Structure 1
């Protein structure tokens, strides 16, 4: 074993000089090479969060470190030219300028100053932002070989990127040992983007001429060639454009709650747009050009958003010019669609109809069969001249029965308060009706003459029997117009309520009682509920034949439905078999919006069993009395004998 180790060590000692010779030969070969590869790494740096990084151009590869620590992204398609300025350098030094001063002068040169100098063009940077060129390491000046000096210049940009400063280098570059030429000289010209951001505000013009910020409007950005900006940036840096607006990659900018629209919504740093003209185009939600506003201040009741239609200039809502990262010449339209320079875009409200019922119905619900009066109001938009259709359609819930004749009169109120009574065309639908104002000449004229005004009409309905308590009973009113083909709708909800009960034994809650019967009375017991869900005057001590009778089932449960919120009474008219009616037959109860569905509000009503009485002719309690007397007598005799024994 020792001999083997000794042999291996001997071999290494012998071979080392040859290895050194091979290494020396490689160094000598590199030193005699007359060109050197220069590789440029082109990055865009995020200057919004920090200053440009200080990169030492010593020729070493720093790409991984730069991208990791400086949020740098490669720039594709950038071109460079290296100009041989060795003669310029030598001339300056011979005139007495030092090295630093000479390099500064060379750095400030322009391409027009070097038209007669030898030049070498780099290929455009690739997808990694990299380009390379092999450059001679020497240059002949006045018959003498000198170390080559170059000025590397970046070609003029399209305005989206700030051109990097010239770089002055002297070849060859050496490794850290100072004697071995680098196989690849890595250089990092520093660049920043000419970032721009145009923000503007989206407004909705309401029917009464008020202007409010409008959320939910969508825009796309077009260049002068009619192409649309994409969400995907080239290398995550430079914008790309496509021909199709419906492409999934097209960037869409949406107004926020304050109506603000900004390119920074999608591109946090802004955009490096090339010089030229750009236009924001507003997108509509459908073929008629409507957009839905989501601002809470612009809702009707709590169910329907106002709907706005886009202006006639939607294809060019805002146009602007970019020049070297500066936005100029902003053009837009004001709320009257006149030319403007304000950074704003306007939509026009398609007002939703408003439906009201009496306050008591809103707050307390409704009794079945009680009449409900609805009042419908539709604001007349300011741009009523653009409307070719103006109709209101009522669609009631199946639980509602509309009570109206085949005509309804409406009141048109102008913005100055002047009123006109009109009779629009009445069209009976399956369950509801439509009032068409533009189908009747005088009704159409009155509406068109009242921008900013309103139309109002009233009608009645009632809730049908059998409606589930606490369920929504909807009544929808929709505004049919040429701007919103699906109609701008408002739904008014009403409710009817009830309560549930359980009948059980007074002393055994597990024992539920079937067959108990009750009638329903109002709070002061002056009216009773009839079998057809009406109310009639009640006479104390009676059970009217038309009274609605509630009966407990085999589980002891029963319920009353179709009532408003309030306090009521149950009167027990028949007790369960083998049970007696309570001495006080009335039980008060409350109907609330949840008294039917919440088990915690289930009310319990109890009954007591009938007493057990002796039969006629029976001994009754005499037997119990005699037994008691006998026990007492026996006790007295016992204690007397005991006393005699003690005295003896």
Structure 2
């Protein structure tokens, strides 16, 4: 190249200004203007390279720095500028922000077809007007391609890949262009296209024109894709002394990390919030990155706001899942009635369903949201309904009538969640385990008699559940019996397991069967009671060996598995029975209690003052298999219920409920007056123990001899004259006589 050519060449670079902008379109090359300015130059040897390499350095900056780059546009000259970039910009990282691909289009023929004046993009002089015209063409091409991008992009959803492909196929410059290659950037954010055509004598301006287009952009991370770069190849070095063997291009994007919104709801039982689903404030979540049960924590614990929402921020590529942590509003304890139950799909194990993934293609940001429903806790209540008094006492042999209430969980047919990122809106499987079992602490004191159980289970609106359709009874041993609600859709294997267990009457086998079901659900009628209470009414029997003053406990256990493991809660209620002890004795000398005697053979009838009925003993009840109490209307009808004092004057009542009673003597001991009044007494806590050592005394007066006729006045006078003697010595004589009678 001669000096005048070199001089003109350098001048063209200086005046034409070959410019690359990281902020927009790249305008390159006015080298061909030299040939136009010097038409007398004879063609010589080829100096420009026939091919070069094109390296695209994908850069990124945070959206918060957008204003900085608007005010500080970065220009380059095709050389490697990676060491000169400002701190606000970094190499794009596909490992965290998603996969990016560039397609290099050779648009030479399309440009020359569109602009058929023979100038293309380089056939211009160095005049300001020509430079402006050339820049206008480059801008027009760039804007045309950018418009296709804009048609496939919006700030809310990001780039729609399918729509972008469609738009590119219709673009006036790309549709007929020759696609050189499509390549993904490497982990450093770079991609190189090798041996790209450069100087070409067959082309009108002897150059190739290219568009470097970002044709694969991860959704969400990039806002928007980088602008296309239009450039000429080969490219003159900044000194104007030669050509670049590798041209460096620096497209850049505004990027953002992603956020995920999770909304927490609670569906309380019918007795709270009307059984409606409402946002739950105060719930706590921890985000993990990785596989459920094995992930690493991302950030700190998040707490739902008043709208039930938490937002996980600064998300990059990866697999994620949320775990709900115990909080003041939600817990995992089986018997926690104050808090909602943590969902089985929100725990840190393989069953977790609150998963989402941001892959190399990115994701529509609007999909990064989900919801989770927690449920009001299940519960069990148990109450003895026919007990007497504050301690709920009963008689031996009585039915103990219990009323139990079982809350059917709101999620009995499955727990709901929704993850828009995966398009999942689903329910877990229904409960495969849901049952109760009832048993006394000691079957020798309180027992179950299946034929006399009288079980009725009702819905809140009075519908009666059907055995065999809505529930199954399994009778075990030692008065334990089960109500199994998993009766619909059982597999043959599970159905057989249940039947075999029922036939065995073995508590362990029954327990294993109802806990181990893997199929089935509750009946439609029971499912319809979600969040409501089923009411049980049934009877158990106090035995005739029931001890006195001891709490006789009956238990009910509610067991379930919502998919996160077996849980159970226990409730109980109790009854008690009482007794009282009496002693029959004479009233003593002159009724003063002096030298009183224990009296054998006195007979009494007992009346319950509350009911007015008379006790007629405990009689065998074949259905119950125990003796139960018999009551009659009149004391004269009392036969088996007669209480007779023994030789120590003792008699007792045992196995009675708390209350007020009346004792009526129906036969006096020989030689004694029949009591002319009844005796009221109480039975209740500890009356048996208290009266064992200090029995209630029931006194009889001794019969007196009637005086002879006409002796009344004498007796009265004698009584007056000898009163002192009687008082002083009578006691001795009375005791001596009683002793002689007792010795006979």
TM-score range, shorter chain: 0.3 to 0.5
Q: Which structure has the greater CA radius of gyration?
A: 2
Q: Which has the higher contact order (CA 8 A, sep 6+)?
A: 2
TM-score (norm 1): 0.41
TM-score (norm 2): 0.36
